[in-house]
């Protein structure tokens, strides 16, 4: 049953991402060139919407969060390495799949490379596990935990910040 | 095929609906969105064709068993969802080279293939080190207001912006 919900969620996500044109190389690299912020608008709108719904359900005890651990070394170094590769291929893992769906078949090369890169990571994992993956391990923390204030306050602040950002982007025609 | 303008979706509307889909996914199936773990499992599946003994002895594939799970189905759904959206809107197009790429790097498909492969490999290596990609760390992480999501997302973009600048120079060229 879980597998069934996976395909349904994927169908809807793929549909919305294709219609919003966020799976295009030109949009992804456009954001990195600071020329077209479509993917930022999409991602932040999706995240703030989901924050409201999911924290509401969480406060009601209906859903569990699934926070990834904060590992400063791994998040920063891995983040930078990912960014470099992302800039080169022009697709992130999810959007590469979506791009293939709309016929942009250059995504195939990136997808094959991604599987290869994951295999290389699996091969070096035992050595990394004892070093980089141990640097700056703060566990599964959230921003409200760190700042010691209520998550609703943070969501409200983010909402205002995002709206100001969106307004600025629209004015600048980005 | 010209994309019908009335059938494209604003990234705000698309993002809002994406947020709603994520809320429902967490509520109904208990699953946050992610993509890069599937590439690790896939690498294990591919290596299984050659040497199953080796795969079962690798720590990373013990942690991330090479099997079809929720996220695999999510990506399959995304492929189909994107295809359906592209077909109904008339924006499906078999394209070997992204427009922006072609303008900058010319019409060689082989060049795009080789560079994409390495870009994809670097990206996925980084994503596995960071513990996620723009979907898992970016969307799901920011939704939960997690520290790891925010840090990773910032460094994804730092890596991407620097790389795009190196590849395309400083101009904005829309």
pLDDT at A2 (0 to 100): 86
Last residue of a domain, one of B94, B122, B143: B94
- Is B19 found in the same domain as B85? yes
Interface subset of A 75-94, CB within 8 angstroms of B: 75-94
Residue B5: pLDDT band (50, 70, 90) is low
| B142–chain A Cβ distance below 8 A for any pair | yes
- What distance in Å separates the CA atoms of residue B110 and residue B112, rounded to the nearest whole number? 5
Residue B130: pLDDT band (50, 70, 90) is very high
Q: How far is A57 from chain B (nearest CA, A)?
A: 8
- Is B19 found in the same domain as B74? yes
- Is B107 found in the same domain as B87? no
* A146-170: average pLDDT: 96
Q: Domain limits at B169?
A: 95-174
- Is B123 found in the same domain as B89? no
According to DSSP, residue B140 is labeled I
* B74-80: average pLDDT: 98
Looking at chain A, the whole-number percentage of residues with pLDDT higher than 70 is: 100
- Dihedral sign for Cα atoms in the order A4, B19, A143, A81: positive
- Is B23 found in the same domain as B88? yes
- Is B90 found in the same domain as B140? no
* B35-63: average pLDDT: 96
Interface subset of B 89-118, CB within 8 angstroms of A: 89, 91-101, 109, 112-118
Total number of domains in chain B: 2
Q: Assess whether pLDDT exceeds 90 at residue B119.
A: yes
Supply the mean pLDDT for chain B.
Answer: 94
- Is B161 found in the same domain as B84? no
Name every chain B residue with its beta carbon within 8 A of the beta carbon of A57.
23, 26-27
Q: Assess whether pLDDT exceeds 70 at residue B3.
A: no
pLDDT single digits (tens) A63-120 = 999 999 999 999 999 999 999 999 999 999 999 999 999 999 999 999 999 999 999 9
Is the whole model's pTM more than 0.90, yes or no? Answer: yes
Q: Assess whether pLDDT exceeds 90 at residue B174.
A: no
SS (H, E, C) chain A: CHHHHHHHHHHHHHHHHHHCCCCCHHHHHHHHCCCCCHHHHHHHHHHHHHHHHHHHHHHCCCCCCCCCCEEHHHHHHHHHHHHHHHHHHCCCHHHHHHHHHCCCCCHHHHHHHHHHHHHHHHHHHHHHHHCHHHCCEEECCEHHHHHCCCHHHHHHHHHHHHHHHHHHHHHCCC
Domain boundaries, chain A: 2-171
- Is B155 found in the same domain as B102? yes
Alpha helices per DSSP H over chain B? 11-29, 36-50, 52-57, 59-63, 70-88, 99-105, 109-130, 142-143, 147-168
pLDDT at B116 (0 to 100): 98
- Is B170 found in the same domain as B130? yes
pLDDT single digits (tens) B137-154 = 999 999 999 999 999 999
| Closest CB to B139 among A47, A80, A96 | A47
CA B144 to chain centre: 19
- Is B56 found in the same domain as B12? yes
Last residue of a domain, one of B48, B68, B94: B94
pLDDT at B4 (0 to 100): 58
Supply the mean pLDDT for chain A.
Answer: 97
| B48–chain A Cβ distance below 8 A for any pair | no
Q: Please judge whether A44 and B147 are an interchain contact, meaning their C-beta atoms are less than 8 angstroms apart.
A: no
Q: Assess whether pLDDT exceeds 50 at residue B1.
A: no
- Is B103 found in the same domain as B78? no
- What distance in Å separates the CA atoms of residue A77 and residue A98, rounded to the nearest whole number? 27
Last residue of a domain, one of B71, B94, B117: B94
| Closest CB to B77 among A8, A29, A65 | A8
- Is B49 found in the same domain as B5? yes
Q: How far is B72 from chain A (nearest CA, A)?
A: 8
pLDDT at B148 (0 to 100): 97
- What distance in Å separates the CA atoms of residue A6 and residue A169, rounded to the nearest whole number? 34
């Amino acid at each position: 049953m879980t597998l069934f919900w996976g395909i349904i969620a994927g169908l809807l996500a793929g549909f919305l991402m294709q219609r919003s044109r966020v799976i295009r190389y030109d949009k992804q690299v456009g954001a990195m060139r600071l020329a077209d912020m479509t993917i930022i608008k999409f991602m932040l709108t999706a995240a703030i919407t989901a924050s409201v719904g999911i924290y509401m359900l969480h406060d009601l005890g209906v859903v569990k969060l699934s926070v990834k651990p904060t590992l400063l070394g791994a998040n920063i170094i891995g983040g930078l390495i990912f960014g470099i590769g992302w800039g080169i291929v022009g697709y992130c893992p999810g959007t590469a799949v979506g791009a293939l769906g709309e016929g942009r078949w250059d995504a195939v090369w990136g997808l094959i490379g991604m599987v290869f890169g994951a295999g290389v990571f699996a091969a070096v994992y035992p050595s990394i596990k004892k070093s980089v993956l141990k640097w700056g391990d703060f566990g599964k923390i959230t921003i409200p935990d760190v700042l010691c204030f209520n998550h609703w306050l943070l969501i409200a602040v983010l909402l205002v910040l995002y709206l100001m950002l969106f307004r600025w982007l629209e004015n600048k025609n980005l | 095929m010209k994309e019908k303008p009335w059938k494209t979706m604003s990234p705000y509307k698309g993002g809002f609906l994406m947020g709603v889909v994520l809320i429902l996914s967490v509520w109904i199936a208990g699953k946050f969105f992610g993509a890069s773990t599937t590439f690790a499992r896939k690498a294990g599946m591919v290596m299984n064709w050659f040497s199953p003994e080796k795969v079962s002895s690798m720590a990373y594939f013990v942690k991330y068993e090479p099997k079809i799970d929720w996220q695999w189905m999510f990506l399959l759904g995304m492929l189909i969802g994107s295809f359906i959206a592209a077909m109904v809107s008339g924006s499906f197009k078999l394209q070997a080279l992204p427009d922006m790429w072609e303008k900058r790097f010319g019409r060689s498909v082989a060049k795009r293939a080789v560079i994409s492969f390495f870009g994809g490999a670097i990206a996925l290596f980084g994503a596995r080190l960071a513990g996620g990609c723009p979907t898992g760390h970016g969307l799901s992480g920011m939704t939960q207001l997690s520290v790891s999501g925010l840090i990773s997302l910032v460094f994804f973009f730092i890596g991407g912006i620097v790389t795009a600048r190196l590849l395309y120079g400083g101009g904005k060229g829309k």
